[in-house]
Amino acid sequence: MNANVKYRVAKSKFVQGLIFFFAFIITVPLILIIIYIFKEGITKINWAFLTQIPKPVGEAGGGIVNALVGSIMIVLVASIIAIPIGILCGIYLSENKTGRLSYWARLSVDVLQGVPSIVIGIVVYFWVVKPIGTFSALSGSVALAIMMLPILIRSTEETLKLIPFSLKEAGLALGLPYHKVILKVVVPCGISGILSGVMLSIARIAGETAPLLFTAFGNPYLNTNLARPMQSLPLMIFNYATSPYDEWHNMAWGAALILLFTVLLLNIITKLTTRRWNVQL
Amino acid sequence: MDDQKLKIKAKNSYGMIRAESIFKRSLIGVGIAMVVLVAGLMVTLIIESLPSMKNLGIKYLWGRTWDPVNNVYGALPFLIGTLLTSFLALIISIPFSFAIAIYLGEYNPKGWLSNFLKNTVELIAAVPSVIYGFWGLLVLVPLVRSLEMKVGVLPYGIGIFTASLILAVMIIPYAASLGREMIRLVPSQLKEGAYSLGATRYEVIKNVVIPYTKSGLFAGILLSLGRALGETMAVTMVIGNTSMIPDSIFGPGNTMASVIANEFTEADHTLYLSALIELGLVLFIVTVIINMIGKRIIQRFTNE
């Protein structure tokens, strides 16, 4: 080998090393965050932490049951609102690939996917909070439901696109009406893809804070009334983390651990179930 | 008897037809609802920001002071803050996201190591932003503060630089995963041709892969930028929240999203509230345009 070739090979090796280094260094922050939150959070979690409401500053103990219950309720209601609409819209878009309405609907989904979550919070404030006259868990659910829609619609559409057309033809040839072909043949074939979209969208919104700031608002007490303000885990972490009190920081670490592991677990489960489908989300 | 059966049959098929038309109509209804929803978002933002548009006019956008107590509203500090944090984060994130894209797309598309990296990148996108903010506030801020003391600038710790660091980590997955998809679309004949002419791996990447995927990589950067502009919680927690024009990248500032998050529930009169909503409108329009351009580029690229 002459010097020039050696130089080129060495340069290629050097760049390869550089790319490997830059690519894998990204695992460092994630691992650091997970380890740090685990270390700080695991000591705070005990039975009282999960079953009591927060105590005033200065008193020891207290828990985050209001945030846990609130998070579950808000996400549950958001799912009830968003899942039927999202799946139906996904079916519509996969069934109508061309046409004016489907063009505009697809464009709207694209737009919605890019809208910053805080803007959705503002709009829902004017749609729900202002007419009712009070911050409420329901308005938080509406905001989160709007955020779920694009993910649900995209995953349903992409999954149903993969279903062979011959299945649908077979159903129609047997004389099944259109809605039965869709609901009893096409959707069941793609159900695991659709379900993983559902889980992914729940994982995405479970940690959302910004749209809840002006809607669910937060509440230091346990509340199960959807028409009243309600605490949620991300809101609580935000409020406690930015407070000057160490005890509140400690509670926020515990809450952060619960939130982080719930979200990561949902993502990993989704990953394992989508492997078969290879859907791009 | 036969008559009875026929009647039932007719009733059943009538029910079927009705169910079918209800189903079709509800599909169309949901499609319309999506369009109405997005149009409604925009209309609401415009209507609610009308008072500020009328009172403050276009000069609102480059007014230098934001002083709600004296009813003076200028959005320039937040525009500068948003642009500074987003572009700084973009610059920090680009080497990493391109390295990941090239590694996963070109060097090592299969195998457990690349799977590990791919899943890590996806989990980075999954971590809630409030957790990044919390971690940044209690771990990264002290680190940045000691760095600032060494460099010799005012050691705030919180500020635009810290926010950019966190944002950079948060936006890496978007450009990286898109870049990977694009790099995998490069036809292998092109690469093989270059190899057969004696090119090294680096030369193939530099002269074949990157020129071929240029527009796709650019679209990935745009989508990352769209994320960075709209990101709220992590930035709000570490940026310092002052309504002054930031004097250096180490100083505290505010972005459009963070000022809305901080002041929306405190806004006590119409003009204040509507000035904040106008910020939201600007944010909405900018992110939508950036996302649309990015998506168009991807569409054109993948259809070729």
> What is the residue extent of each domain of chain A?
3-31, 47-274
pTM of the model: 0.93
For chain A, what is the mean pLDDT?
A: 90
- Residue A127 in contact with partner chain B when CB distance is under 8 A: yes
Confidence band of A117 (pLDDT split at 50, 70, 90): very high
Q: Are A184 and A57 in contact (CB under 8 A)?
A: no
Nearest by CB to B27, from A88, A125, A259: name it: A88
Q: Which residues contact B141 (CB under 8 A, 6 or more apart)?
A: B157, B158, B162, B238
pLDDT of the residue at B1:
56
Q: Is the pLDDT of residue A281 over 60?
A: no
Which chain B residues are Cβ-neighbours of A114 within 8 angstroms? 226, 230, 287-288, 290-292
Backbone angles phi, psi at B32, to 5 degrees: -65, -40
Nearest by CB to B41, from A30, A88, A123: name it: A123
Confidence band of B97 (pLDDT split at 50, 70, 90): very high
For A96-122, what is the mean pLDDT? 93
For an interface test with B, give the residue of A8, A88, A98, A123 to mutate (most B CBs within 10 A): A123
Confidence band of B59 (pLDDT split at 50, 70, 90): confident
- Residue A7 in contact with partner chain B when CB distance is under 8 A: no
* Smallest CA–CA distance from B13 into chain A, residue: A177
CA B27 – CA B25 distance, rounded (Å): 5
CATH superfamily of A47-274: MetI-like (1.10.3720.10)
For residue B142, give the DSSP letter: H
Which chain A residues are Cβ-neighbours of B27 within 8 angstroms? 88, 91-92, 95
pLDDT of the residue at A170:
93
Contact state of A37 with B200 under an 8 Å Cβ cutoff: no
pLDDT of the residue at A33:
93
Instruction: Give which of A22, A164, A182 is closest to A90, Cα–Cα.
Output: A182
Which chain B residues are Cβ-neighbours of A36 within 8 angstroms? 135, 139
Give the number of A-B residue pairs with CB atoms closer than 8 Å. Answer: 247
CATH for B60-303, options being 1.10.3720.10, 3.90.650.10, 3.40.50.2020, 1.10.150.20:
1.10.3720.10
Q: Is the pLDDT of residue A97 over 90?
A: no
Q: Is A115 left (phi over 0), alpha (psi -120 to 50) or beta?
A: beta
For A237-261, what is the mean pLDDT? 91
pLDDT of the residue at A277:
54
For an interface test with A, give the residue of B134, B183, B292 to mutate (most A CBs within 10 A): B134
Backbone angles phi, psi at B253, to 5 degrees: -160, -155
For an interface test with A, give the residue of B85, B127, B208 to mutate (most A CBs within 10 A): B127
Domain boundaries, chain B: 2-56, 60-303
Q: Is the pLDDT of residue B2 over 80?
A: no
- Residue A36 in contact with partner chain B when CB distance is under 8 A: yes
Nearest by CB to B124, from A26, A95, A206: name it: A26
Range in A3-17, A58-72, A152-166 the model is least confident about:
A58-72
pLDDT of the residue at B248:
83
pLDDT of the residue at B244:
85
Q: What is the dihedral of CA B264, B267, B270, B275, to 10 degrees?
A: -50
* Smallest CA–CA distance from B262 into chain A, residue: A213
Copy the structure tokens of residue A229: 């303000």
Which chain A residues are Cβ-neighbours of B287 within 8 angstroms? 114-116
Q: B residues 124-143 near A, CB within 8 Å? A: 124, 126-135, 137-139
Contact state of A92 with B265 under an 8 Å Cβ cutoff: no
Q: A residues 156-175 near B, CB within 8 Å? A: none
Contact state of B131 with A37 under an 8 Å Cβ cutoff: yes
